[in-house]
Structure 1
Amino acid sequence: MQVSVDATPVEEFDLVMGNIAHGGYCVARLDGRVVFVRGTLPGETVRVRLTDTSKASHWFGQAVEVISADPHRVDPPCPVAGECGGCDFQHVDIEFQRELKQRVVAEQLSRIAGITWTGSVEAVEGSSDGLGWRTRMQYRSIKGRPGLRRHRSHDVVEVPDGGCPIAHPAGRDAAEAACRGCEQAIVMVTNCLTDNPEVSVIADGQLIAGGETMTAQVGQRRWKVGAGGFWQVHPGAAEALADAVVAGLDPHQGDEALDLYCGVGLFAGLLADRGVRVRGIEVSRQAVALARRNVPGGRFVAGRVERVLPRMKAKANLVVLDPPRKGAGKAVVQAVTRTSPRAIAHVACDPAALARDLHLFEINGYVPRSIRCFDVFPMTHHVEAVAILKPKV
């Protein structure tokens, strides 16, 4: 079938959806070729508009009409959900979103690392309906209003009236005000589980509202974070991940620990509070300065982990690593295992990267004793994991 949209020929086909795939797509087949389709659920029959046919091995498509719907399909709470690239699963019941993420994590761990995982994706405090949770948003201005990029595009989609539904409500008015006079804006909210959230706005690289540093809290402990820097974007994420890391490592008084990709010292601070001597490595000099402020007894180095750690020739009882989305990689994994820790906590925001790293750790003598996953990115395909590794017996 071929139809025309704005005088441009667009191909559409009725396809039956297969399994969920990493990235929020379902897998379909068209004349033997794999098509990754957005906005669908496994088992549905869907009219699909092809959006990218540039690769010989696989194509991409977007659902334009659901012919046979899965019972877990719901009406998206956002009117631009099918256009904006920020959300993948607004058409899916929130509980079933976690089931789909569980399937993806299990498939990636099995296929890449040979690990059988039967855990679940756990909900966290702060967003029972999957909305209003995102505390750091990066907007583009469009017609004087906040906008977000289309899926797999540099084009911009205007957010609906009232703001982006997954953005934390405390930052929505600030985004509207900033985008009336700038090209791009970063809006960050902290302390949002309290009655007094902090809001900072950076417009076109300049701080125009709030403070350059903000306060974030986990339990009774507080950290200073940069208005444009990294902190977990879900209100309940830092506490959930920190609890999983500390419980899994089981720190003892006098232990030596390495906090790699340490940011402003979230894990280092909690370990130090338990009598652990901590050292951290982080590429951002601003974050290192804040880590030194947040954890006065720790030692922190600014630099790339893959360059700094091999030169340290350190020994450690415990290691935490929270690498970027691409994962830690071979050089870091080898350097970590050479420190001979009794336990490693690997925090990962991409299941494929986690699986690759766990395979490398297994080659170097460490295997996971537990893997927990957390739904700290509702309405998206993303999921956060904490793997606790120990030496092979």
Structure 2
Amino acid sequence: MSQEPGTPSTAELVAGSEVVVDAGPIAHGGFVVARHEGRVLFVRHALPGEQVRVRVTEGAAGDRFLRADAVEVLAASPDRVQPPCPYAGPGLCGGCDFQHVDVAAQRRLKATVVAEQLQRLAHLERDVVVEPVPGDTHGLRWRTRTEFAVDPAGRAGMRRHRSHALLPIDDCLIASERVVGTAVLQADWAGEKAVDVVAPSDGDAVVVRIPSDEAVAPVVTENVAAQSLSREFDVSARGFWQVHPGAAATFVDAVIAGLDPQPGERCLDLYAGVGVFASALAQAVGERGQVIAVESDSIAVAQARLNVASTPWVRYVQGRVDHVFGVESTGRVSGTRKGGRRRPGPRRPSSDIPPTADLVVLDPPRTGAGKAVVGAVVALGPRALAYVACDPAALARDTAYLLERGYALTSLRAFDAFPMTHHVECVAVFTRTGPDLP
């Protein structure tokens, strides 16, 4: 588009510059992509097809791309709404990306991102629909675990986008009523770094001061009421649990329906947490079957062993998944004699990992499982595996590795487990297309 009189030239665009741009497609991370005289801008608080005035928030002359906020909407998308939260907007809370977007349109944007990542990184064309998580109709009051930052004056609030600066708030509209009902936002937290509020399925909400020792954090009870599993789980208030109250049951049912485990089968549950998928698999395969669960966190493993005590055909292995499989870590470790840093050498696989498996569940962190772990899993020859992903780019990268190794993506479901944010959860099921391993 033509440059407005008095606006900076492309070479002069730096933090604080304002220009008018036409918003392009949605990008992974909650931005839209825009261009100004060939310069790429990642713009928050805009929608595809809009014309907006943006203020550059990060970047300097010569940078490959700039970050910007839409500070004025000149031509609005029909999907734009008034943000329900007064703290959502340019320069304000960094927690929500899509408060200015109709909820149904948010899901369409997320579907576009998942499809684009699969096409770009796995060269796979896929129609994607993002489903609401049961119990959510308006996108607000769903978050049952919320960490609030604390400023030097002892006020709790949220961090501003890409900043350590704190924004004091009176309410968080995506936090559940039970979270904000603790009055944590009105209390004086002088001397604390942050406070974590957990509203579990059973019992009162708890507040944990941070930093804290997870070993002494309270244990809370969470319920999973799924078609394939109905039971309680104990989990540390500082441990991992899905923050949307309907998410755990939704993901369990998607995994079990996709894998269709049969009595007597052997299953692996990798990045297993406190045993939700392991318990559902154990129930499906029965006592003639076997479930090996791998989890690195010692507190989660201790709780999981209690959670699965009634199904002794579940065995928990404590350790990092890559270490347990004996594949080389992509990280670096310190401690060489000369004080330098080196890559660890190859490890021996744990004797707890069987030579073959019928089914595998992978629920890795945001970075994904990675090429080495995918290769080790494929070597077991599972007939099918379910991949639970909180990052579409990581899912797409690992999908490419699986396609190269003779697996096909036979099912993909995406869920809006984090309304008002750009995050989306996917459950992908892969089945073996090549010959069986001996």
Q: Which moved more, 1:309-318 or 1:86-95?
A: 309-318
Residue number among 278, 292, 298 corresponding to 2:305 in the alignment: 292
Q: Determine if the alignment matches structure 1 residue 165 to structure 2 residue 173.
A: yes
Q: Deviations over 1:369-389 (max 9, x none)?
A: 011000000000000000000
Q: How has the CA–CA distance of structure 1 residues 185 and 178 changed in structure 2, closer, same or farther, with 3 Å as cutoff?
A: farther
Q: Determine if the alignment matches structure 1 residue 319 to structure 2 residue 360.
A: yes
The 5 A counterparts of 1:347-358 are 347-358=388-399
| Offset at residue 214 of structure 1 (A) | 0.8
Q: Which amino acid letter does the alignment assign opposite residue 156 of structure 1? A: L
Q: Which amino acid letter does the alignment assign opposite residue 319 of structure 2? A: G
- Assess if the C-alpha contact under 8 Å between 2:236 and 2:300 holds in 1: yes
Q: Which amino acid letter does the alignment assign opposite residue 94 of structure 1? A: V
Q: Provide structure 2 residue ranges, at least 5 long, that are not aligned to the other structure.
A: 1-5, 9-13, 327-348
Residue number among 51, 72, 79 corresponding to 1:72 in the alignment: 79
- Correspondence for 1:270: 280
Residue number among 76, 101, 116 corresponding to 2:125 in the alignment: 116
The 5 A counterparts of 1:190-201 are 190-191=200-201, 197-201=203-207
Residue number among 100, 117, 130 corresponding to 2:139 in the alignment: 130
- Correspondence for 2:260: 250
- Correspondence for 1:107: 116
Q: How has the CA–CA distance of structure 1 residues 130 and 207 changed in structure 2, closer, same or farther, with 3 Å as cutoff?
A: farther
Q: Secondary structure at the match of 1:109?
A: helix
- Correspondence for 2:30: 24
Q: How many angstroms apart in 1 are the aligned matches of 2:188 and 2:371?
A: 42
Q: Deviations over 1:134-186 (max 9, x none)?
A: 11111112343321111111111112x2x211111101132236653433111
Structure whose residues are more often strand by fraction: 1
- Assess if the C-alpha contact under 8 Å between 1:265 and 1:294 holds in 2: yes
Residue number among 43, 62, 65 corresponding to 2:69 in the alignment: 62
Q: How many angstroms apart in 2 are the aligned matches of 1:392 and 1:56?
A: 45
- Correspondence for 2:428: 387
Q: Deviations over 1:253-274 (max 9, x none)?
A: 1111110000001100111112
Q: How has the CA–CA distance of structure 1 residues 206 and 326 changed in structure 2, closer, same or farther, with 3 Å as cutoff?
A: closer
The 5 A counterparts of 1:335-354 are 335-354=376-395
- Assess if the C-alpha contact under 8 Å between 1:349 and 1:384 holds in 2: yes
- Correspondence for 1:307: 323
Q: How many angstroms apart in 1 are the aligned matches of 2:209 and 2:41?
A: 39
Q: How many angstroms apart in 2 are the aligned matches of 1:376 and 1:51?
A: 29
Q: How many angstroms apart in 1 are the aligned matches of 2:302 and 2:189?
A: 33
Q: Secondary structure at the match of 1:356?
A: helix
Q: How has the CA–CA distance of structure 1 residues 211 and 277 changed in structure 2, closer, same or farther, with 3 Å as cutoff?
A: same
Q: Which amino acid letter does the alignment assign opposite residue 63 of structure 2? A: A
- Assess if the C-alpha contact under 8 Å between 1:126 and 1:234 holds in 2: no
> How much is the aligned-residue C-alpha RMSD, in angstroms?
2.0
Q: How many angstroms apart in 1 are the aligned matches of 2:407 and 2:56?
A: 43
Q: How many angstroms apart in 1 are the aligned matches of 2:38 and 2:317?
A: 52
Q: Provide structure 1 residue ranges, at least 5 long, that are not aligned to the other structure.
A: none
- Assess if the C-alpha contact under 8 Å between 1:40 and 1:46 holds in 2: yes
Q: Deviations over 1:11-61 (max 9, x none)?
A: 100110011111110110011011000000000000100011147211110
Q: Deviations over 1:90-112 (max 9, x none)?
A: 00000000000011111110111
- Correspondence for 1:232: 242
Q: How many angstroms apart in 1 are the aligned matches of 2:15 and 2:43?
A: 19
Q: How many angstroms apart in 1 are the aligned matches of 2:177 and 2:270?
A: 32
Give the number of equivalent residue pairs: 382
TM-score normalised by the chain length of structure 1? 0.93
- Correspondence for 2:343: none
| Identity score, percent | 49
- Assess if the C-alpha contact under 8 Å between 1:282 and 1:303 holds in 2: yes
Q: How many angstroms apart in 1 are the aligned matches of 2:78 and 2:107?
A: 15
